[in-house]
Amino acid sequence: MTGPLDGKVALVAGATRGAGRGIAVELGAAGATVYVTGRSTRARRSEYHRPETIEDTADLVTEAGGRGIAVVADHLDHSAVRHLVDRIAGEQGRLDVLVNDIWGGENLFEWNAPVWEHDLDNGLRLLRLAVETHAVTSHYALPLLLRRPGGLVVEVTDGTAEYNRDTYRVNFFYDLAKASVLRMAFALGHELGPRGATAVALTPGWMRSEIMLDAFGVREENWRDALAREPHFAISETPRFTGRAVAALAADPDVARFNGQSLSSGGLARVYGFTDLDGSRPDAWRYLTEVQDAGKPADVTGYR
């Protein structure tokens, strides 16, 4: 059996866990060869000190039907990223999809701390991990992606351009990081569009990542138990939902119509008709605006 991305090659930068893992697995399920990068391995953990590893992600890609290839890489290290891209070029001769999902800031930002109170070193480290890594990866990977027409770049962020324009996001450093990634997709759209490729920004909704599930003390199997603590968590989605959004974009021959735009998993589900693993279509950003931020009681009727 073949999938819509059979023969395609993808690089998911920052695929150890969360959205990156969900995206890599769904690209694999569609038949792609997926290079997955991260810093946490079976031999050594990053400063996150989490159990998820990049080798596990590669295995999940292969189990889903694709070919997962794990590459340990720190995307702040220019030589490491250059060697990564050289390896893909040597082994595959092509790159069809680049997903910039590097983040690494979970343990660095302080909720609602103004810039003069926030730890400066942590804030600047967050910006390097969340923004500089994307620029470094694009610099080295895009020449390979542009060898063939139809390439796709996905910049993963938190929040749509519309939502983030009007909403203060957590603190100065977090807000700046997420806005910067949105603008990256806009700028890349201008640079890639005339050269036959497409760039978009994509945000998950309220994602049930491994870290989020741990924060609520639940697992995917019983995630609804967290609703007693936070009823609005009912709108949440799995990382695979975002993965299905990326796979749908990558398989769309008319994806250029989205070039430079800010997209969401829930919005693309309406366009392409895919669902989350439970068969629902959570539309988190519409829900956040119309229900949660509006101070209304939690009710996902009409939103999933």
* Catalytic residue set: 174
Give the integer Cα–Cα distance in Å for 201 and 5. 20
249 neighbors 152 (Cβ within 8 angstroms): yes
Give the integer Cα–Cα distance in Å for 287 and 284. 5
CA terminus-to-terminus distance, the chain: 31
Give the integer Cα–Cα distance in Å for 66 and 75. 24
Three-state SS letters, 35-73: EEEECCCCCCCCCCCCCCCHHHHHHHHHHHCCEEEEEEC
Return the closest-CA partner of residue 203 out of 166, 246, 152, 139: 246
Give the integer Cα–Cα distance in Å for 186 and 259. 8
Residue with tokens 């069809």: 96
DSSP letters, 95-150, are --EEEE-----TTT--TT--TTTS-HHHHHHHHIIIIIHHHHHHHHHHHHHTTSTT
